[in-house]
DNA sequence: TATTTCACTTTCCTTTAGGAAAGTACTATA
DNA sequence: TATAGTACTTTCCTAAAGGAAAGTGAAATA
């Protein structure tokens, strides 16, 4: 029954991890959230702050993040109209994930450069 | 200069997060690592513990994880030959990420079911 | 009047991920 | 001898991700 015990223990972690990955999966979602939560509000600013992203991809990812209630698109009725992207409070709940990934990434890069 | 300040602050997080994502990106890598670190060692056991994975995908992901020194493939010269997958010590460094994702996933599921 | 900025969209294309189903080579067991 | 298990591989396919380049429409600025 060792296998079954491992299997249950494993599933209780695998399932929620997959739920999380379904939301933040991909190359761009977390970088965009980081950009927006550090104060970038305008489309062009976000685009410039996330190296390599194209406007097509950014537009699509912003829509996804809006649907998941992680950011909101705010239309400011000035002349000219301004569009701002703001983090929703729910985006803050991602910070443990972001910082865990950041720390690991910093260390990983060190490890790679040491070895080679 | 507010934009530039935000941009630098943002980049110092975005870059390492992307380094981390380059390693653990995708639907399957973390679930497989979870399975192996909770004690599943055999190909078939891992396959059964990760719902929905096909042997083709598992074989490919195991190779990737071996290359990144997160698991190792051990050939036991019995009759018949056994193949075991074991976590490398480096896999343990992923646990803050895994637990952050797990916690968030658990909460996210709660949130979804409350609302709907 | 011409150019620039903003926030995208559109088109076209390549790459990667992923899945279904069957097959394989070996060994063990009934 | 027949069946089952192990650890995959192979083939064929679809869908999603991603990228390059150009375009758009409105308004602001030179």
Contact A17 B11 (CB under 8 A): no
Please report, rounded to a whole number, the percentage of residues in chain A having pLDDT higher than 70: 93
pLDDT band, residue A2 (cuts 50/70/90): very low
Contact A21 B11 (CB under 8 A): no
Q: What was the pLDDT predicted at A113?
A: 87
Q: Is the pLDDT of residue A1 over 50?
A: no
Backbone angles phi, psi at B92, to 5 degrees: -60, -30
Under CATH, to which class is A26-115 assigned?
mainly alpha
Q: What is the CATH number of domain B27-115?
A: 1.10.10.10
**Which nucleotide is nearest to B84 if distance is taken from CA to C1'?**
D7
pLDDT band, residue A80 (cuts 50/70/90): confident
pLDDT 10s digits, A22-67: 999 899 999 999 999 999 999 999 999 999 999 999 999 999 999 9
Cβ of A10 near strand C (under 7 Å)? The reply is: no
Beta strands in A3-89 (DSSP E): 71-76, 82-87
How long is the CA A68 to C1' C21 vector, in angstroms? 36
Q: For residues A92-102, give the mean pLDDT.
A: 97
Chain B positions in Cβ-Cβ contact with residue A34 (cut-off 8 Å): 10, 13-14, 17
**Exposed / middle / buried, residue B4 (Cβ in 10 Å: 0-12, 13-18, 19+):** exposed
Residue with the larger pLDDT of the pair A9 and A13:
A13
Q: Which of B2, B3, B13 sits opposite A102 (nearest CB)?
A: B13
Q: For residues B29-44, give the mean pLDDT.
A: 96
* DSSP string of B15-83, one letter each residue: HHHHHHHHHH-SSSHHHHHHHHHTT--SHHHHHHHSTT--HHHHHHHHHHHHHTTSEEEEEE-SSS-EE
Q: Is the pLDDT of residue B96 over 60?
A: yes
- How far apart (Å, rounded) are the C-alpha atoms in residues A40 and B6? 7
Please give the mean pLDDT across all residues of chain B: 91
Q: What was the pLDDT predicted at B6?
A: 64
Best residue in A14, A23, A58, A69 to probe B by mutation, most B CBs within 10 Å?
Answer: A14
Residue at minimum CA to C1' distance from nucleotide C5: A44
Please give the mean pLDDT across all residues of chain A: 91
Closest alpha carbon to A92 in A22, A26, A25, A36: A36
- How far apart (Å, rounded) are the C-alpha atoms in residues B116 and B107? 15
Q: Is the pLDDT of residue B4 over 60?
A: no
Q: Is the pLDDT of residue B3 over 90?
A: no
For tokens 């409070």, the residue is: A89
pLDDT band, residue A4 (cuts 50/70/90): low
């Amino acid at each position: 029954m060792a296998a079954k015990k491992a299997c249950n223990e494993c599933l209780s972690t695998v399932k929620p991890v997959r739920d999380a990955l379904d939301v933040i999966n991909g190359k761009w979602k977390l970088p965009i959230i980081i950009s927006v939560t550090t104060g970038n509000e305008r489309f062009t600013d976000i685009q410039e702050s996330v190296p390599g992203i194209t406007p097509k991809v950014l537009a699509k990812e912003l829509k996804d993040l809006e649907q998941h209630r992680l950011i909101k698109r705010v239309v400011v009725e000035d002349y000219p109209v301004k569009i701002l992207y703001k983090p929703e409070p729910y985006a803050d709940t991602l910070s443990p994930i972001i910082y865990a990934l950041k720390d690991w990434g910093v260390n990983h890069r060190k490890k790679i450069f040491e070895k080679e």
